[in-house]
Each structure stands twice: as C-alpha cells, then as structure tokens.
Amino acid sequence: MPPPSAGQRPVLCAVDFEASSWRALGFAVSVARQTAQPLHIVHVSDPGPEVDWDHLDPAIAPALRELEALLEARVERAHGLLARASAACARAGVTAQTHLATGRPPEAIIEAGERHAAGLIVVGAHNAAERHRVHLLGSTAERVLRAAQVSVLVVPGPPPAPKATSGARVAPDRPLHAGAAAPSDDPLTGDPAMALIQRILCPTDFSDSSDAAIEYSLSLAETLGAEVHLLHVYPIPALMLPDGGVTATAQLVARLSEHANDAMDAHVARLTERGAKVTGHVTEGVAAQSILDAAEEIGADLIVMATHGRTGLAHLLVGSVTERVVRLSTIPVLTVRTHAPT
C-alpha cells in the first residue's frame, strides 16, 4: 500500500494460483481501488532446463521432450488464469496489467517490482497444508520480504478446509501443475480480503525504524479513513538468583511499566499535536505473540511493521519479530522497509 507520498507508484501482486494467492489478489484489488494506484499482476513460471538438442544423448531425448511439452502446457494454462484474474479485477472495478515471468519466484517477483517501479509488492502466504504440498524450504513470501527494497504486504491464505466426515467426499485442492483453478467463477467475490481496512495495528519500540512504520500507518489511515493503534511490548524482566533460578522483582516490573507507559504517552501526545488520531497500548510479554494477541483483541484488519531486511548469517543470528508475526498472523501484515537489505 503506497502511502500518499508514493504518488501513483503501482501495486504489484504476485500470484501462483494457489488459494493463498487468489486471496492476496483480492486484497491487492481492494488496496488499488481505495488508493487509486495502478495494479500489476505477475506469475512466475519455471523455464525448465536449457537443452542443447544438437549434442543430446538420444536415450533421454523423449523424456526431455515430454518435459518441454508439459512446461509449455503450464505456460498456456498460466496465460488463461492470468486472463481470468484480470477479468475478475475488472468486475471489481480495477484495471490490472498481467505479466508472465520466468525464473526463481522470489528473484523474479522482485525484478518485476523494480521493472514496473512498484511501491508495494503483495504476496500470499501459504497455509500449513499448502507449505507441505509444495515442499517449500522457506516461503517465497518470506524471501521477498527479506530482499525487496520496497514495502511488502503478506496476505495469509484461507484456513485449511475441514477434514471430511465419515461418508463425505472432498475434492482435492490441486496446484497449478496438476490443473489448479480459482476457487469460484469469480474468485474475488465475497472474499474477506476485499473488506475495507478500518483498524491498523502498528507495533513500536520507539526506534527510528518503528517511527517510519508509524508514519506509513498514519498515511494509510488518512487515505483509507482507518484508525491507528500503536502497541509497545516490553519483555518480562528477570534476575538470575545464586541458585540458578530466575525471578522478577515487583520494583523492577513497576519501573519498566512506568517507563513504557510514559514513552507511549509522549509518543501519542506528539502525534496528536500534529492532528493524528492514534490510540496507544502498552503490554508486557513476548513481542510476536503479544502483537498477535493485540491484533485479535482490537479487531485489527492490518498490521504494519518495520523490517530491516536482514539476510544470510545476520538473519539467522538475530531472527525477526516481524517474520514471526508474518508466519503466524491470520490478518495481512505490511512490512515497511527502513533501509536497503544487507
């Protein structure tokens, strides 16, 4: 969701035609419609192996030709599904441009975003059943989140369908290579992702990075007519005892609570002086879970968080509260890039 300062920079939505990506497209359409941003839809197709037919072992040629035919059929199906997605967007009042790219999905999605000067990339997050089926080692959504130099909106997939009861039969949900299709004739109609954004939750640790996410949230709220809730989570304090046990003193807890509440009050006061309408919340606990709990408690439609875009060893050592929230959230999470990834 580009804020007003992003002008008319497009929204780019990546789709793989799983249920989660249709839902992401529904949210992207809603965003484009509410912010008057252009919408681009991209699907990334596997180009297959490069084959030197002049020097190919004749024994494996039939198998490679069969693979080539299969990949060509997948490309044709992808074109058809992209056309279907474009038509669904048009019925929802948004004109979308569609693109078929080849390569590794995370890199191709980011390249498409750069090519079209997107201010926001929207991706779907696979639910547990989809992750198991497609054998993902780290999701495409998480890889895009870490590497993209623009904001990324991760939309969770719908909850898994309930298991069939005795005597009932449920049709399997098939991925693209097995002939996947959108969940209905109009996959965007009636999707909860198409609902208006009314409440935005923005966690903050009062750092410059968090302030960037707050500014983004306020811009969105002004554009969408939504309310903004700030949340600060401070950890439960503990002291090591001589016997190896840990405890938290009441005095320390009270002091940390007072400091956190004072900081939030000052933050809210500064924003209110600017004319912003925000509500502050302070709680103790584990950051990621407390954020998820607060989102449910206030009925948030969107979580906006800052991300540093750490990759490689730094990412493994430091971890990311933002990524944990993205993995576990049942509502969309918008990550605001605070500096270029390293």
- Residue 319 has what pLDDT? 46
Is 136 a residue whose pLDDT tops 50?
no
Interacting residues of 130 by C-beta distance below 8 A, sequence separation 6+? 18, 19, 20, 157
Which domains does the chain show, CATH number per domain? 1-52+63-159 (3.40.50.620), 195-342 (3.40.50.620)
Is 152 a residue whose pLDDT tops 90?
yes
User: Which amino acid does the sequence have at 245?
Assistant: G
pLDDT averaged over every residue in the chain: 79
Mean pLDDT of 3-26: 82
Instruction: Please work out, in degrees rounded to the nearest 5, the angle formed at the alpha carbon of residue 35 by the alpha carbons of 211 and 270.
Output: 25
DSSP state of 12: E
Query: Residue 236, Cα to own-chain centre: how many angstroms?
Result: 29
Q: In this predicted model, which residue has the larger pLDDT, 191 or 178?
A: 191
Is 144 a residue whose pLDDT tops 50?
yes
How would you class 328 by CB atoms within 10 Å of its CB: exposed for 0-12, middle for 13-18, buried for 19 or more? middle
- Residue 268 has what pLDDT? 96
- pLDDT band for position 39 (cuts 50, 70, 90): very high
pTM: 0.80
Locate 28 and state its tokens.
């992207």
**Tens digits of per-residue pLDDT, 245-300?**
556 677 778 888 999 999 999 999 999 999 889 999 999 999 999 999 999 999 99
- pLDDT band for position 28 (cuts 50, 70, 90): very high
CB of 120 closer than 8 Å to CB of 11: yes
How many helices and strands in the chain, by DSSP H and E?
Answer: 10, 12
Instruction: Please work out, in degrees rounded to the nearest 5, the angle formed at the alpha carbon of residue 189 by the alpha carbons of 183 and 193.
Output: 90
CB of 146 closer than 8 Å to CB of 315: yes
- Residue 317 has what pLDDT? 37
Which runs of consecutive H residues, i.e. helices, occur in 36-60?
Answer: none
